[in-house]
Structure 1
């Protein structure tokens, strides 16, 4: 029988197969950057087409490209805080989260994103100090570019950071480079710095408080389902009322002017109506379920999905301004040759921000979603529900007290708060021990002693490495963005401020 096996030919064919696999993997990795680059180019083309015949066309086109890049980075980094807990708790899949977040981010940006923004972001720089149109344009472009670059780097290292703080740092650095330290309103900068501590601390405390309530009044009750039928409708009502007030204050304030009292009153009415509706629904859903924790998780899954959608809507309504605010200011200044305190945002500019956030989320968001939802600490629907609820309630409390907060820091701080509370509760709760003893679970009485510090660290419920990385990124966001913006200003000023 003839042997047709050719060792040399087989080796060559294997090498070709490996090369094809490598080429396929490389091409798949290049799809997301390619689509992102195409979006940036299309944004610049649209800006050029709408600005034909207008002065400052080159500046408008360049600013549109930078604004699109900024919007992509906001979507890649910041949106993870809204849907990450829901994905990490397996209340919904990554694909479902991406679709829901993209739809509601775009809707929030387009419906309630606002038609008027301040050209000097957050009042960081005195407008009189950069009244020259060329200097102002260079400063805004430097601020926008530096913020986008820093957020891109933070996404690459896996750290969710505040896009608002990034743009604030960028504006501050460009303002100092353009007009000196006296141009910066340091009182505003100080209040923003205070939010580094206030936001995550508030978010963590509120989330831990709700988790403590759920554990003590539902999880460690003998009849879990009876406790759930009593308290889950109350928690749903609190969530509905909180998100109504949150959206009224943060999302719809650009459309209808609503004060804190009116928002809270509207939230109370919606919360009461939600409680009336939720009671029979929860009772019907709990029928036939077993008296165990897995059944409780099913009762929290739908409210958690709703909270992710609402958070995405509010985020799109607010943070789209971080991308399109400076862009709109540059476009307005280029067209009119003058600097004013407020500008109207053209529809194409708002569309660049809304679509850019959605594209950034879909193309690059899964990594940060996984970080927030699964890698910091383990989440289930009940814990993730506490994180989402904390984001809405903390913003309302902070607004009532006049405290500046970051939604990014609140959400991540809430995840940390849930994890640290679980560590404490597991080790110290007398109620948990009594419940486990009633269930005759002897495992809690015979815990294997830990042999060394490394093993103790591995068994912590919050991963310390991620904690330190994220906190470090938060601390350096404003100064890094400021320094980078100042450098970029000095590079751009000779071409734009002359």
Structure 2
């Protein structure tokens, strides 16, 4: 009996998260009906709220790993600490700086006039929301961090095509989104690799590492502070106030200089008594890395909560006014569902993707993870300035790949230089070359494949969901 009891507990443990998720969805749905006054057609709002809560859970389980994974992988944060910080910062970003106005047709993917009929529009939004949630759920299950924005875009496109034909899709916008599959990870990887190369050149491989760190770590903290101030101004606070690139540059410059001046005495005090070796440098990068992870989560909550609640807000607006307009106000109760759902999804299912992003792609330490976090902010700013569409998920994971591939190249160059000095170069066996790879190729191929098929897969799922919903309604 004892063995049977132990076996039952062991097999039931993975179902705890599923059960709590069902409780959250079951709570969100009737709460939506109560808060909307149980108006005529409230069954649609109940279903939409359940789909929105399900989508928010999946965003928390998948997307947030990109912000917290590097800090956990570098041992700057424990898993529990990362989840606590991310839950607080994600919720704060969603509730304090989340968009009060959102594009219901997901940034011009389809022509609103083609879905002017209220019932058709509502069915399309329901299908888009459910299909995006299903795809992100599947990606989380196989261990692939994907762009939830792309999943929503694919869902809207698929439902729009079935509802109104291929002509309703804005294909130039879709082309720009497809370009972001390449632009985002490349920019993130190049910038992260360049940051790591700078740290190696100026701090890690010099005679007096501690003296170099006292000079350059405050500069890097200033750059990080300026970059994140611009990032938050452009991505997280744009819904509270109108901020253009010029204003964001001024905010970033002021914040960068201020935190550089503040960090000079702090780094000097923190570096006292440290030994002149690379392991000592990890201490100096740990706190900036933790802060950067929290700021990334705040900006993510402010910016990406619309992926979960945007279609839900559009359905609520269409039910109350019968108008499928391009932009609608998001009620506070809708924002609360999104914020709580993201936090619950992170706590229940986030550790799997956090471990994968932080530990299993390539080995990270505080310096490398710092480069990843800084690259995420700098790449978004550079892409906004150039007018390029990017995905924060692709940037963060691309930065991790960039750091890993740079380390492979750097170690290969050092090995070749050492061989030239010691003896004529000997050929290295294929097995040994494979053992020296610092980026797991299996994860690399899985993630790239998931990125490529996210939009078409969610579009296909959305088309099927739309047909099913139409059949049930009809």
The TM-score bracket by the shorter chain reads over 0.9
Residue of structure 1 in register with 2:359 after alignment: 374
CA distance in 2 between counterparts of 1:257 and 1:471 reads 35
CA distance in 1 between counterparts of 2:370 and 2:38 reads 52
Residue of structure 1 in register with 2:110 after alignment: 125
Residue of structure 1 in register with 2:408 after alignment: 423
Q: Which runs of 4+ in 1 moved over 2 A?
A: 335-338, 444-456
| Residue 114 of structure 1: how far off its partner (Å) | 1.3
- Are 2:82 and 1:97 equivalent residues in the alignment? yes
CA distance in 2 between counterparts of 1:255 and 1:235 reads 29
Deviations 1:89-138 (A, max 9, x none): 00110000000000000000001111111111111000000001111011
Query: Could you say if the C-alpha distance between residues 474 and 445 of structure 1 is closer, same or farther in structure 2, counting changes exceeding 3 Å?
Result: farther
- Are 2:294 and 1:309 equivalent residues in the alignment? yes
Residue of structure 1 in register with 2:119 after alignment: 134
Residue of structure 2 in register with 1:112 after alignment: 97
CA distance in 1 between counterparts of 2:43 and 2:199 reads 57
Match of 1:284 among 253, 264, 269: 269
Residue of structure 2 in register with 1:409 after alignment: 394
CA distance in 2 between counterparts of 1:253 and 1:448 reads 57
- Are 2:140 and 1:150 equivalent residues in the alignment? no
Contact kept, 8 Å, 1:98 with 1:362, in 2: the verdict is yes
Contact kept, 8 Å, 1:450 with 1:456, in 2: the verdict is no
Match of 2:173 among 146, 163, 188: 188
- Are 2:458 and 1:481 equivalent residues in the alignment? yes
CA distance in 1 between counterparts of 2:424 and 2:279 reads 24
CA distance in 2 between counterparts of 1:135 and 1:315 reads 31
CA distance in 2 between counterparts of 1:396 and 1:53 reads 43
- Are 2:177 and 1:200 equivalent residues in the alignment? no
Contact kept, 8 Å, 1:55 with 1:335, in 2: the verdict is no
Residue of structure 2 in register with 1:79 after alignment: 64
- SS of the residue corresponding to residue 13 of structure 2 reads helix
| Residue 346 of structure 1: how far off its partner (Å) | 1.1
CA distance in 2 between counterparts of 1:461 and 1:475 reads 24
CA distance in 2 between counterparts of 1:132 and 1:106 reads 35
- Structure-to-structure mapping, 1:56-455, within 5 angstroms: 56-429=41-414, 452-455=429-432
- SS of the residue corresponding to residue 117 of structure 1 reads strand
CA distance in 1 between counterparts of 2:460 and 2:52 reads 20
| Residue 344 of structure 1: how far off its partner (Å) | 1.2
CA distance in 2 between counterparts of 1:114 and 1:412 reads 25
CA distance in 2 between counterparts of 1:311 and 1:53 reads 37
| Residue 349 of structure 1: how far off its partner (Å) | 0.6
| Residue 339 of structure 1: how far off its partner (Å) | 1.6
CA distance in 1 between counterparts of 2:423 and 2:8 reads 53
Q: Which has the larger radius of gyration?
A: 1
RMSD, matched Cα? 1.7
| Residue 451 of structure 1: how far off its partner (Å) | 6.4
Residue of structure 1 in register with 2:471 after alignment: 494
| Residue 26 of structure 1: how far off its partner (Å) | 2.3
CA distance in 2 between counterparts of 1:141 and 1:168 reads 13
Match of 1:465 among 429, 436, 442: 442
CA distance in 2 between counterparts of 1:284 and 1:60 reads 57
Where does the alignment leave 5 or more consecutive residues of structure 1 unmatched?
1-15
**TM-score, structure 2 length as denominator?**
0.97
Count of equivalent residues: 473
- SS of the residue corresponding to residue 107 of structure 2 reads helix
Deviations 1:400-459 (A, max 9, x none): 0000000000000000000000000011149x96xxx8xxxx9x9699978643442232
CA distance in 1 between counterparts of 2:423 and 2:270 reads 37
- SS of the residue corresponding to residue 122 of structure 1 reads coil
CA distance in 2 between counterparts of 1:114 and 1:199 reads 23
| Residue 333 of structure 1: how far off its partner (Å) | 1.1
CA distance in 1 between counterparts of 2:158 and 2:122 reads 14
CA distance in 1 between counterparts of 2:320 and 2:245 reads 37
Query: Could you say if the C-alpha distance between residues 286 and 128 of structure 1 is closer, same or farther in structure 2, counting changes exceeding 3 Å?
Result: same
CA distance in 2 between counterparts of 1:340 and 1:446 reads 72
Residue of structure 2 in register with 1:40 after alignment: 25
